[in-house]
Structure 1
Amino acid sequence: MISFLLMLSIVSYTMAVVFTGQRFAASPRWGQRRIQVSSAVAVFTHVLSIALVLNETGFRHFNMAATLLIIAALLSIFNLSRGLRAEANLLRPVIFTFAIFSLLLVAVTPLRAGHAITVQPGVTLHIGLSLLAFSILALAALYSLQLLYLNRLLKQRKAKALSDNLPPLMTVENYFFRLLTVGTGVLTLAIVSGFLFVENMFAPGQLHKTSLSLVAWLTFNGILVVHYWRGLRGKPAVIITLIASLLLILAYYGSRFVRDVLLA
């Protein structure tokens, strides 16, 4: 059943990517229903796959493949919730391609790969907040890249030719800072819950993750403070956001890769 759902989700995501690409190449109104239906089926079967995978492993094996699967689902849900807005359509092929990769990775990874964790309410809360924060901040990073792309088009005066499919620059920038604010808030809760419920956050096995997470958290907060206080925006905010996002990736998936792949 899991294999069938994974395959159905992959096929649906692929169809949604193709339909979205055709919409950019043809009329802006072409294939809206096809995009909506294929996207909805893809996300629905993706979420069902997660439920079955976690149930099969007794909710104890949050290995790298499983966490990528969850993050990809959250990103897809966030994207789908934006409907057919231009900025969502522009990112949809990227997010859905990442979702396809995560589904393929789960398909070839043993369900019980990686170290088992102790299922406790506090630890579960920390993991859930961490995955949610990572997903929101990853989406913010994607919107920051979209800002760079739109700025480049405007400077090269190519935006007019694609104006029907391009979102307003200010709309993207405002949503980027909203995501950054919410994501940083959730990351704060995740870090606090870690210190409350995870045993010894500065132990040798946790030191790398904790240190980089704190540096990333400080960097995200620094961006927001300067933005709301001094009006920081544009390319400097984007570059610093991408650096902080890279630190967060290294914090979480650097340790995960070593533990689940190299040491497994």
Structure 2
Amino acid sequence: MHPLLPSLAAACLYAGAATYQGLRLTQRSSPDKRLLALLGVLALFFHGGSLFLQLHDVHGLNLDFFNAASLIACAVIALTLLACLRIPVENLLLLLFPLGGLTVLAAEFLPSGTIRPIDEHPGILAHILLSILAYGMLTIAVFQSILLLLQDYQLKHKHPSGLIKNFPPLQTMESLLFGFLWAGWLLLSLSLLSGALFLDDLFAQHLAHKTILSSFAWVVFAVLLWGRHRLGWRGHKAIRWTLAGFCLLMLAYFGSKLVREFILHI
């Protein structure tokens, strides 16, 4: 089976879900959570099917730049939908559904770079899974910080939009942000540890930048969490540190992949 049909189906469902949610919020009413979840799960089903066909290679995993972006977006949306069962984070889906649609289409239609398939050794696969979960959880934290920044700005200027009026209280939004940060930091710690255990050389030429930048990101998030615990950091300071750590993490993974696959062709 060719991945074109599931890719298009996933993109259409993501677009439909985002449009429905956006229209409901602009009308200052909450979307039906069950309908939104159903659309999201169906989109994830087709997204996952498309990824399975694109990632599978006779020599290993074809985890090129756009496939990796699509896989992380799929993981982020899945984690958010699961979180919606317990905590009020469905507003994040308004940002994540378009991201899922864009990445699944990019993986299908944009040319891939030069990359060697990844050996499917269990230890390597565990490292990849932990990395994807860490990136996914910290991506959710970044989107949460963006919504928190928007909410804080509109409340201070006393012009809350329909979107903001459907948000939980500011304190709850901030607590959710640090919950995601703690989970993402712990997963990132496990990812770095598994890399040290299962990769032959973390500082090999093709891994050095990724290792160094990921370690810096780990330190940034650790300082932020320490500052929250010991100094009560919150608001704009917490958001700035979150964005700084996330930028380092994305440079570590996508920056190195972009250079290797599309510039150096290695």
1:259 partner amino acid: R
2:41 partner amino acid: A
Question: Residues 161 and 19 from structure 1, CA distance in 2 versus in 1: closer, same or farther, beyond 3 angstroms?
Answer: closer
Contact 2:70 2:107 in 1 (8 A): yes
1:86 CA displacement: 9.5
1:217 partner amino acid: W
Question: Residues 213 and 144 from structure 1, CA distance in 2 versus in 1: closer, same or farther, beyond 3 angstroms?
Answer: same
User: 1:6-30 CA deviation, whole Å, 9 max, x = no partner?
Assistant: 1110110010011001111225245
Contact 1:19 1:34 in 2 (8 A): no
SS at match of 1:139: helix
Q: Partners of 1:163 and 1:146 in 2: how far apart? A: 9
Question: Residues 57 and 98 from structure 1, CA distance in 2 versus in 1: closer, same or farther, beyond 3 angstroms?
Answer: farther
Root mean square deviation of aligned Cα: 2.3
Contact 1:57 1:111 in 2 (8 A): no
Question: Residues 241 and 198 from structure 1, CA distance in 2 versus in 1: closer, same or farther, beyond 3 angstroms?
Answer: same
Contact 2:29 2:162 in 1 (8 A): no
1:241 CA displacement: 1.0
Q: Partners of 2:135 and 2:163 in 1: how far apart? A: 32
Structure 1 unaligned blocks of 5 or more: none
Contact 1:219 1:240 in 2 (8 A): yes
1:133 aligned to 2:130?
no
- Which residue in 2 is equivalent to 1:100? 101
Q: Partners of 1:19 and 1:86 in 2: how far apart? A: 21
1:90 aligned to 2:91?
yes
1:91 CA displacement: 2.2
Q: Partners of 1:86 and 1:245 in 2: how far apart? A: 23
2:109 partner amino acid: V
TM-score by length of 1: 0.91
- Which residue in 2 is equivalent to 1:116? 117
- Which residue in 2 is equivalent to 1:11? 12
1:31 CA displacement: 5.1
- Which residue in 1 is equivalent to 2:184? 183
2:257 partner amino acid: R
SS at match of 2:239: helix
- The within-5 A match list for 1:151-162 is 151-159=152-160
- The within-5 A match list for 1:1-264 is 1=1, 2-26=3-27, 28-29=29-30, 32-56=33-57, 59-83=60-84, 88-109=89-110, 114-159=115-160, 164-264=165-265
Comparing 51-60 with 191-200, greater Cα deviation is found at: 51-60
Contact 1:86 1:165 in 2 (8 A): no
TM-score by length of 2: 0.91
Comparing 93-102 with 31-40, greater Cα deviation is found at: 31-40
Q: Partners of 1:260 and 1:111 in 2: how far apart? A: 8
Question: Residues 160 and 63 from structure 1, CA distance in 2 versus in 1: closer, same or farther, beyond 3 angstroms?
Answer: closer
1:119 CA displacement: 2.1
Question: Residues 160 and 19 from structure 1, CA distance in 2 versus in 1: closer, same or farther, beyond 3 angstroms?
Answer: closer
1:239 partner amino acid: R
User: 1:91-110 CA deviation, whole Å, 9 max, x = no partner?
Assistant: 22211111111111111246
Identical residues among aligned pairs (%): 30
Question: Residues 141 and 163 from structure 1, CA distance in 2 versus in 1: closer, same or farther, beyond 3 angstroms?
Answer: closer
1:111 CA displacement: 7.2
Q: Partners of 1:110 and 1:56 in 2: how far apart? A: 17
